[in-house]
Amino acid sequence: MDIYNIEGFLLLTQKCENPILQSFAGTFDMKHATINDIARKLNISTSTVSRALSDHPDINKETKLRVKQLADELNYIPNPIARSLKKNRTSVIGVIVPEIKHDFFSSAISGIEEVAYQSGYTIIVSQSNESYDREVINANAMINQRVAGLIVSISQNTTDGNHYKKFIERGIPLVFFDRVCNEIKTCKVIIDDEKSAYDAVKFLVEKGYKKIVHFAGPVTLSICQKRLAGYKDALEKAGINIPEDFIRYGGLHESDGYNSMNYLLEKNLIPDAIFAVNDPVAIGAYQKIKEAGLKIPDDIAIVGFSNNKITSLVDPPLTTVEQPSFEMGKTSAKMLIKMIESDESNTETIILDAKLIVRKSA
């Protein structure tokens, strides 16, 4: 069924006495002009009207102008449902993130939505809650929803990207941001996590800290691997040895920072500084340090990563690496829409700038 037959079907249901069909037709506003109306008034085919409205290169400028002027005069509004059935996709962009409550991801979603709205798209957001299985379900649901494209940041438990290969196979544009699947050849928007971590730890070294612990994230997640590598590189170049217990692996939540700090205190391994894989982990460590009666930064300094809103509200405010989350979302959306509208794939990796925000915790 193409867009023109659908409009005819809707007109037929309006005239039908069947209340169910009339109810269906009532969900559409048929007071607006259709492509058929424009074609009839200009004495051209409906396909020509459709291509003119889409700026198709085969249609000359004069015809495009006539069509668009009449469309404006008649208050023509494209039928998004009919158009999506014809193109086998909607004007909806799917977004999958680990957690909406995380400031970084909520800010990135705002950036995505801003660009999508300006380009005539809407977004549908789902969260994996850091679960691989839930992420797979969400990805499959996006395919079933016929999204025009998908923007993703993977969960901390995602170790393969087979569920995203389906998008590549179906020609559905896909962009990863922040947490990416390296095995999937598509556009990625990231920061230089290794360099950012290196700069943060180098800052601590230059301030005179030597016993620097790293509260690391999951070993399988690429951003955590890179931040760990930056931590090690900075200490090695400074000639500082890293004791085995000074790298504590965990997750990405407050409880992970709290538990890692608790472990060190129980072992009587008191560092003079902590570099946390992200801000929630740093805040968890904050809590345990204060419970233990220690002072920040007099006894232990802390540096986080992301620049969540809470980092400027705690006492003392947290030194952290600022990720451009809003800009990351905007860039991801721009790249995805470009892929959607050009019908061309893109394997470019875009690296945005990050910077260290120095506050009183270090």
Q: What is the CATH number of the domain that holds 99?
A: 3.40.50.2300
Same domain, 264 and 230: yes
* 3-class state of residue 57 by DSSP: coil
Beta bridge partners of 302: 274
**Phi, psi (degrees; rounded to nearest 5) at 91:** -100, 30
CB 143 within 8 Å of CB 167: yes
Q: Identify whether 358 is part of a domain.
A: no
From CA 132, how far away is CA 287, in angstroms rounded? 29
Kind of pairing, strands 174-177 and 187-191? Answer: parallel
Count other Cβ atoms within 10 Å, centred on residue 232.
Answer: 17
Task: Specify the pLDDT at position 197.
Answer: 98
Q: Identify whether 334 is part of a domain.
A: yes
From CA 303, how far away is CA 357, in angstroms rounded? 9
From CA 64, how far away is CA 128, in angstroms rounded? 45
Angle at 237 between CA 236 and CA 240, to 5 degrees: 45
From CA 243, how far away is CA 268, in angstroms rounded? 14
- b/e per residue, 237-256, with b = 16+ CB within 10 A? eeeeeeeeebebebbbbbeb
Boundary-marking domain end, from 24, 59, 86: 86
Q: Identify whether 362 is part of a domain.
A: no
What are the respective helix, strand and coil percentages of the chain, to the nearest 5? 50, 15, 35
Residue 330 carries which side chain, given as an amino acid letter?
A: K
Same domain, 147 and 166: yes
From CA 124, how far away is CA 142, in angstroms rounded? 9
Which residues lie below 8 Å from residue 323, measured CB to CB, with a gap of 6+? 104, 178, 191, 305, 306, 307, 354
CB 252 within 8 Å of CB 179: no
Q: Identify whether 357 is part of a domain.
A: no
Beta bridge partners of 320: 304, 357
From CA 193, how far away is CA 349, in angstroms rounded? 14
Task: Specify the pLDDT at position 23.
Answer: 44
From CA 233, how far away is CA 169, in angstroms rounded? 39
Task: Report pTM.
Answer: 0.77
Q: How far is CA 353 from CA 137, 323, 325, in A?
A: 33, 8, 11
Same domain, 14 and 99: no
Count other Cβ atoms within 10 Å, centred on residue 92.
Answer: 18
Q: Identify whether 258 is part of a domain.
A: yes
Q: Identify whether 359 is part of a domain.
A: no
Angle at 236 between CA 232 and CA 242, to 5 degrees: 65
From CA 250, how far away is CA 252, in angstroms rounded? 7
Domain count, the chain: 3
Task: Specify the pLDDT at position 54.
Answer: 74
Same domain, 12 and 101: no
Same domain, 19 and 70: yes
One pLDDT digit (tens) per residue for the chain, 362 residues:
444 344 444 444 444 555 444 444 444 444 567 888 899 999 998 878 878 887 777 899 999 999 999 988 888 876 655 555 555 567 999 999 999 998 999 999 999 999 999 988 999 999 999 999 999 999 999 999 999 999 999 999 999 999 999 999 999 999 999 999 999 999 999 999 999 999 999 999 999 999 999 999 999 999 999 999 999 999 999 999 999 899 999 999 999 999 999 999 999 999 999 999 999 999 999 999 999 999 999 999 999 999 999 999 999 999 999 999 999 999 999 999 999 999 899 999 999 999 999 999 99
* 3-class state of residue 87 by DSSP: helix
Length of the chain as a residue count: 362
DSSP-derived secondary structure letter, 32: S
**CATH code of the domain in which 32 resides:** 1.10.260.40
Q: Which domain holds residue 117?
A: 90-190+325-352
